[in-house]
């Protein structure tokens, strides 16, 4: 069984017990139980009438807007939760400290980590001993990482290939220098340089969310 097919089966198993939530007068079907109260549930009926491109664009827009509050990992994961009703409030909370390259250390890109958390919520293993499911989910995640790098390079027009997904390396490509976000002075310089402008780190969030959304939609299609 291909990795995507295995993940799709996990997705189907997760959706066997739908719950209902409401936001104002809107009733939404949540396939994965309660999500964070900080993210809006998405009506499944509406999703059924949308094309893949429309869904991806919606997820990208939400992630991009989320990042104005800081927290790239939550910006992306929250957008995926909003669209696909995956995970819960604890999942969302867990992503808090992954932003800025993990606790503002400039390591692995927080936006990508949020995207990978979304993938894990869809097709991750439930049993630690299930090494086959682990391997298949990791293979799916590897494709997401590769797609993220390629789309990031294309959208920003990087001349050279992006060889890593480190926050500091992405900073250098976008801003011409890396910012130490753990430093108050450097973090302020990052903000002054437009770090949270729509075409800077929020765009990175949009790209990561879009890549994950495409992958999740592909899994749903294979169910």
Is pTM beyond 0.85 here? no
* Mean per-residue pLDDT over the chain, rounded: 84
Closest-CA residue to 210 (of 162, 154, 157, 134): 154
Closest-CA residue to 214 (of 90, 122, 110): 122
Domain boundaries, the chain: 3-221
Q: What percent of the chain stands above pLDDT 90?
A: 75
| Residue-wise pLDDT tens digits, 123-156 | 999 999 999 999 999 999 999 999 999 999 999 9
Task: Give the helix/strand (H/E) hosting 29.
Answer: strand 26-30
The length of the chain, given as a count of residues: 223
| Residue-wise pLDDT tens digits, 182-222 | 999 999 999 999 999 999 999 999 999 999 999 999 988 87
What's the average model confidence in pLDDT over 41-64?
A: 79
């Amino acid at each position: 069984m291909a990795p995507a097919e295995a993940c799709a089966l996990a997705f189907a198993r997760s959706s066997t017990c739908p719950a209902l939530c409401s936001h104002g007068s809107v009733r939404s079907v949540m396939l994965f139980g309660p999500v964070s109260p900080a993210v809006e549930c998405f009506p499944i009926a509406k999703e059924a009438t949308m094309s893949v491109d429309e869904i991806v664009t919606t997820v990208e827009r939400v992630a991009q807007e989320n990042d104005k509050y800081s927290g790239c990992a939550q910006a992306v994961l929250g957008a995926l939760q909003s669209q696909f009703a995956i995970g819960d409030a604890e999942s969302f909370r867990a992503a808090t400290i992954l932003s800025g390259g993990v606790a503002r250390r400039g390591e692995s890109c927080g936006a990508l980590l949020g995207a990978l958390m979304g993938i894990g919520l869809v097709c991750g293993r439930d049993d630690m001993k299930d090494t086959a499911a682990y391997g298949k989910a990791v293979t799916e995640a590897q494709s997401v990482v590769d797609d993220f790098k390629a789309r990031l390079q294309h959208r920003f027009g990087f001349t050279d290939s992006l060889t890593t997904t480190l926050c500091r390396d992405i900073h250098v490509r976008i801003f011409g220098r890396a910012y130490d976000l753990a430093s108050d002075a450097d973090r302020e310089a990052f903000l002054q340089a437009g770090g949270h402008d729509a075409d800077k780190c929020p765009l990175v969030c949009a790209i990561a969310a879009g890549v994950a959304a495409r992958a999740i939609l592909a899994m749903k299609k294979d169910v």
